[in-house]
Amino acid sequence: MLPLLRERGLVTYRIGVIGGDGIGPEVIAEALKVVDATGIAYEPVTYDLGGTRYLATGEVLSDETIEGLRSMDAILLGAIGTPDVPPGVLERGLLLRLRFELDLFVNLRPFLAPAGPLNDGVDMIVIRENTEGTYLGEGGFLRKGTPQEVATQGSLNTRFGVERCIRYAFELAESRPRKHLTLVHKTNVLTFAGDLWQRTFDAVATEFPSVTTGYDHVDAACIHFVQRPERYDVIVTDNLFGDILTDLGGAIAGGIGRAASGNLNPSRTGPSLFEPVHGSAPDIAGTGAADPRAAILCAGMLLEFLGETKAAQRVASAVNESDDVLGSTAEIGSRIAERV
Ligand code: NAI
Ligand code: MG
């Protein structure tokens, strides 16, 4: 309904924009340049968040900011992280907190690459559960700082959380030409969590008779990613395995400069958040060497999720056909924007 209303000039999307740190703001500026070029009516609402702001103000993410972000139609994020902030502060306090608060339970990462020396090409989407597993923060220390120190870090898996993620993956697989979904886990060793995932997968599969299914252990999947990625169409996996597998996916398909991701709330009770897989790259920040393609692809995914399919396809094609475009961050952004 939104696109129809928009065509009649009745809707202007409100897009929350979090540039963040390092190259984050640089690549997001180019992504917005490309969104401008599509002619979509939108209002960017800028949020100053990240390590730089934390060091200046001591604040990571206020409740007020979360409520502001919650009222957006979608959110575009660059990267968060500065070398002077201790590990965990921004990851837990900002990135993970946004995923939990906005219930962004699906992390979607597409991988596309032509055939190369190692394999016959890649065209797959990884669906990573984004709010549970080992990343929920269950665990703690006993006798911290002593020789008898104990640390535990649990993996929390709920039937509800696993099922809604798996159902989204089946729906996505059903919408693609190959209609194939692979569960990736380590069911032979993680016999509790793995069992819940496998049973849930098998149960939901009965609702999608047109989708063919497969299963791979995560370690085997790492080999297949490199040597036989064509065996995959859609993959569904848990939070930790998904984090690692998608970095590997980025490495086999176009590199870190092209890896885009969506943190989705498929029930649409709030905005979804789109961000490049790469970080703030402090080593190249300010030099104009950052590749903005991942951020631009994120903007395309954002448009797609809003239902602006035509604009999204124009953005994706412009990026996928930009191998000849060289230059600084801003030059690449401008050239891609011209082609949209
Ligand atoms: P990184 O992705 O920032 O950089 C890794 C390497 O890839 C660097 O050599 C960098 O120059 C290069 N690189 C990254 N993006 C690039 C781009 N668009 N174009 C060209 N080269 C690019 O990962 P790193 O170095 O581990 O982390 C740096 C900071 O970013 C840390 O503070 C980390 O916590 C944070 N980070 C944030 C993420 C997020 O916001 N979701 C994700 C990953 C890291
Ligand atoms: Mg990662």
Catalytic residue among 13, 135, 168, 232: 135
What pLDDT sits at residue 7? 57
Q: What is the pLDDT of residues 281-294, one digit of tens each?
A: 999 999 999 999 99
- pLDDT the model gives residue 121: 84
Residue spans of alpha helices (H) in 234-326: 239-252, 293-305, 309-320
Low-confidence ranges of the chain (pLDDT < 50): none
State the pLDDT at residue 113: 87
251 closest CA partner among 214, 287, 216, 225: 225
User: Which ligand has its closest atom nearest to the C-alpha of 278?
Assistant: 1
DSSP-assigned states of every residue in 277-288? SS---TTTTTTT
Q: How far apart are CA 269 and CA 12, in angstroms?
A: 19
- Could you tell me the distance, in angstroms and rounded to a whole number, from the CA of residue 135 to the centre of ligand 2? 12
Residue 135 annotated in active site = yes
Give the per-residue pLDDT at 5: 59
Nearest CA to ligand 1 atom 36: 279
pLDDT score recorded for residue 2: 57
CB 225 within 8 A of CB 248: yes
DSSP, res 91: I
* Tokens found for residue 291: 């590749």
**In the chain, what's the furthest Cα-to-Cα distance?**
68
Residue of the nearest CA to atom 5 in ligand 1? 281
Query: Catalytic residue at 243?
Result: yes
Atom of ligand 1 nearest to the CA of 24: 40
The ligand that comes nearest to the alpha carbon of residue 287 is 1
Which tens digits make up the pLDDT trace of 148-169?
999 999 999 999 999 999 999 9
pLDDT score at 116: 80
* 182 residue type, one letter: T
Which position among 48, 120, 202, 219 bears the catalytic label? 219
Specify whether the CB–CB gap between 180 and 173 falls below 8 A: yes
Q: Check residue 299 and give its pLDDT.
A: 98
